[in-house]
Structure 1
Amino acid sequence: MSSMKNRLKDVLPMPVVALAKSMLNGYPSLIMSSLSEARRYNKAYAKDTAKGVKQLESRMMYFTHQIEKGLSHKDFRYGFGKRPLQYLAKTLKLYQQRVSNYSDSMPYRSALAALGEYLKRHVDHEDTLNYVRSIFPVTTLEAAQKMDGHEGGSFHFSEQYKKNNASLTFRELSTNRHSIREFSTEPITYDEIKPALELAMRTPSVCNRQPTRVRVILDHTIIAKALKLQGGFNGYAMPPALILLTADNRVFMAPQEHNEGYTDGGLFGMSLLLALEEQGIAACPLNTMFRKGPEEATRKLLNIPPYENLVMYIAVGHFPDRCITCVSHRFQAEDVVTVVR
C-alpha cells in the first residue's frame, strides 16, 4: 500500500493524491454504507402509497398527532385540520381492510379518541361536522364518540401539577412528562436552564467521546427565524428559549461511526428533557430533519460548522398556569419487545 501511495505522488498532482488517499482511507466504505442504508429505508418507510400494517399504523399515529396538536391549542381554532382528517379517514379505511382485530389496536383507538374529541369540540359548528361526516363512515364516527379521552386527544393540567417534580421518582417523572408547546410569558434565563444541562452531561456516549454540542438561544428574533425555517412550530407563540443539539463528527474515528452522533445526541436530548422536567421547566423536542435549503439557512443563521450534524431543537420555557397538551398514547412494552432466549 505504501509503495502505491509513493507511485501516486510521482505521477499525479497533489490535490489528486490527497483525494486518492482519502478514498484509500475508508471513503468507499462510507459511500457504500450510506447507499445500503438509503435502499433499506426507501423500501421500509411509510410513504403515501404504503399499505403494510406497520406503515399504516405509523401514518395513523402521525395524522392523529396533528389533530391532537390542534386540540391542545390554548386559542382553539374551530374547523382546523381538514387535510389531516382526510388522510386519517383514508388510512383508517385501509387499516380496517388489512387488520381483522383493528378495533383493539392502540394506534386505531388513539385515532378514534382524537376524532371523538374533535366531534365534541365542534358540537355547535354544523359546517365542520358536515365536513367530517362526508369523509368518515357513520360507524367510525359512532365508535369515535364512545371513546374514552385518555387514549387520545388533549390532556389538561395546571402549573401546580409540576410543583413537586424535584421530589418525584424516576418512574413518576417519566410518566408525568408531557411536551409543552405554549409557555408562560415569564422570561427564562440561562442560569435557570444550566442545572439541567449540567445533569445531562452525565449522558453516556460512545467511548466517552461526548459529541453533543449545545446552543442555548435566548434572542427572540433569532428564535423566530430558526423556527420559521424549522416549520413545525407554526401557530404557536415563540418559546422564551430554544436549545439546539448538534453532533461533532470530529470525535469519530471510522466510517461505520457516521450515524453515532445522532444516537449520542438523542440520548443527550432525552436526558436533558427529563432534567428540565425535574427542574420544573417546560419543554418540547422539535425535529431538525431539513431539506437542503432550510438546513443551509439554519447553519448560516446559527453559525454551525460543516463538521456538526443537526440533531434536534428543544423549545423551553416556564409552565403556564393552565397547560393543554397532546395525550400521545403509547404502545405497551409487549408491543415492541422481542425476547431472544
Structure 2
Amino acid sequence: MNPTIKNFLKEHAPVKILTAYRAFANGYPALRRAALKQARRFERTYSKPSSKGAEQVQARMIFFAHQIEKGLSHMHFRYGFGKRPLASLAKEMKMYRAAVPDYRSSQSYHCALAALHEYVVRHEGHEEALQYVKDLFSEETWHEIQTEQSNLGGSIVISRDSKQNNANLPFKELSENRHSIREYADQPVTYEELLPAVQLAMRTPTVCNRQPARLHIILNPETIGKVLAYQGGFNGYKEPPALLLITADNAVFMAPQERNEGFTDGGLFGMSLLLSLEREGLAACPLNTMMKEGAEEATRKLLNIPDSENMVMYVAVGHFPDEVKTCVSHRFKASDIITVIQ
C-alpha cells in the first residue's frame, strides 16, 4: 500500500471510530433511554384513579361529565343511562371540592353541574332513575345540580340547514361552530366528497416539510364495524358511513429525538381535516387510537397498516341529519392554560 495512504488511514482511524460510536449511541440506545425517561415522567404525573392533585381530579371530572353529555346527545334517548359514569362523576366532584377550596368559581365544576342538571330535567317523570342519581350526592350538591343555570355542559341541537353556508364562513366562525357529530344521515359518503377536504388539509405545516401524515379511507360498512369494535370508543352509536384513519410514517424521520414528531404533525393534519370537512358540509368526529396491544395488532392486520406507520387518530364522517344533538364540550378560557415567561 502506498505509504502516504497508509499514514492517512492510521491518522484518521480514531476519528472514524469516534464518528461510528457517536452514530451508534444516538441510535437505539438513545431511543431506549429517551422512551424510558418519557415513560417514567408519565407514570409520575398522569391522572391515575388514586391521584388527588387538583389538575388530575379535574381531568377525571371532565372525562365523566363528558360521558354524561354523550348520553344526553343520543338521538334515541335512553332513560336511566350512565349509572357507572354518574357514580364516578359524583366521586370526582367530591374529591375536586376537597382539592379546590374555590371550586364554585371553576368552569369545569359548573360544566359537570350543567350536564347533571340536564340529566335531571330530561328524567322528570322517571323517579327511579332520578332517585339513583340523587342518592349519589350530598344534599348541598343536589341543590347545586337542581339550581345550575349555566349552559356550560349538557347537549345542544345542530341542524343541517345551519351548515349549508359553511364554505363562505370566516375562519373564526367556522372554528367556533364546529362540533363533533356522532350520528349521521342515512346516506353514503363517497371518496369524491372527501377528496376536497383532504386536499385542503394538505396545506398543514410539518417538520421540515416532510409531511408524514398518511390517510386510510374506509368506506366498507363491514370493515368499519370491525375496526370500531377494536377501537372500542364508539359503542352505542350506529357505524358512520365513512371512517378515516390518520397515521404518521416514521420513515420520514431521521433521529430518535423525532420519535414523537409524527403524532404532532399527524394531529395538526387531523385538525386541518376536521375544519376542512366542516367547510365541505360534512359532519365528523375525531376518535382516539389509544388501543391495547392486541387490539392495535388486530387493527394493523385488518387494515394492512405498514409497520413504519403510527396510528394517530380516526375521524368518523357522515352527512348531517336534519337535526342532531351533540355535547356542549365547554372549553377552558385561554387564560386558564397560559404561562407567560418573562
TM-score (norm 2): 0.93
Shift of 1:22: 8.5
Residue of structure 2 in register with 1:277 after alignment = 278
Larger C-alpha radius of gyration, 1 or 2?
2
Q: Relative to 1, partners in 2 of residues 1:249 and 1:216: Cα closer, same or farther, differing over 3 Å?
A: same
Q: Which residue type is aligned with residue 132 of structure 2?
A: Y
Q: Which residue type is aligned with residue 251 of structure 2?
A: R
RMSD: 1.8
| C-alpha separation in 2, matches of 1:313 and 1:150 | 29
Question: Does structure 2 conserve the Cα–Cα contact (< 8 Å) formed by 1:117 and 1:149?
Answer: no
**Residues 27-106 of structure 1: matches in 2 within 5 Å?**
27-106=28-107
Q: Which residue type is aligned with residue 43 of structure 2?
A: N
| C-alpha separation in 2, matches of 1:221 and 1:22 | 47
Q: Relative to 1, partners in 2 of residues 1:53 and 1:186: Cα closer, same or farther, differing over 3 Å?
A: same
Specify the SS of the correspondent of 2:88.
Answer: helix
| C-alpha separation in 2, matches of 1:293 and 1:84 | 26
| C-alpha separation in 2, matches of 1:118 and 1:25 | 55
Specify the SS of the correspondent of 1:317.
Answer: strand
Residue 232, structure 1, aligned to residue 233, structure 2 = yes
Residue of structure 2 in register with 1:109 after alignment = 110
Shift of 1:144: 1.4
Point out where structure 2 has 5 or more consecutive residues left out of the alignment: 1-11
Shift of 1:5: 9.3
| C-alpha separation in 2, matches of 1:340 and 1:121 | 46
TM-score (norm 1): 0.93
Shift of 1:23: 4.8
| C-alpha separation in 2, matches of 1:244 and 1:188 | 15
| C-alpha separation in 2, matches of 1:288 and 1:45 | 18
Q: Which residue type is aligned with residue 204 of structure 2?
A: T
Question: Does structure 2 conserve the Cα–Cα contact (< 8 Å) formed by 1:180 and 1:282?
Answer: yes
Question: Does structure 2 conserve the Cα–Cα contact (< 8 Å) formed by 1:5 and 1:21?
Answer: no
Residue of structure 2 in register with 1:331 after alignment = 332
Residue 267, structure 1, aligned to residue 268, structure 2 = yes
Residue of structure 1 in register with 2:295 after alignment = 294
Q: Which residue type is aligned with residue 71 of structure 1?
A: L
| C-alpha separation in 2, matches of 1:156 and 1:24 | 56
Q: Relative to 1, partners in 2 of residues 1:58 and 1:116: Cα closer, same or farther, differing over 3 Å?
A: same
Question: Does structure 1 conserve the Cα–Cα contact (< 8 Å) formed by 2:113 and 2:153?
Answer: yes
| C-alpha separation in 2, matches of 1:214 and 1:22 | 33
Tell me how many residue pairs correspond in the alignment. Answer: 329
Q: Which residue type is aligned with residue 197 of structure 1?
A: V
| C-alpha separation in 2, matches of 1:296 and 1:3 | 44
| C-alpha separation in 2, matches of 1:109 and 1:297 | 40
Shift of 1:318: 0.3
Residue of structure 1 in register with 2:203 after alignment = 202
Identical residues among aligned pairs (%): 58
Q: After TM superposition, which residue ranges in structure 1, 4 or more long, deviate above 3 angstroms?
A: 1-6, 20-25
| C-alpha separation in 1, matches of 2:304 and 2:173 | 38
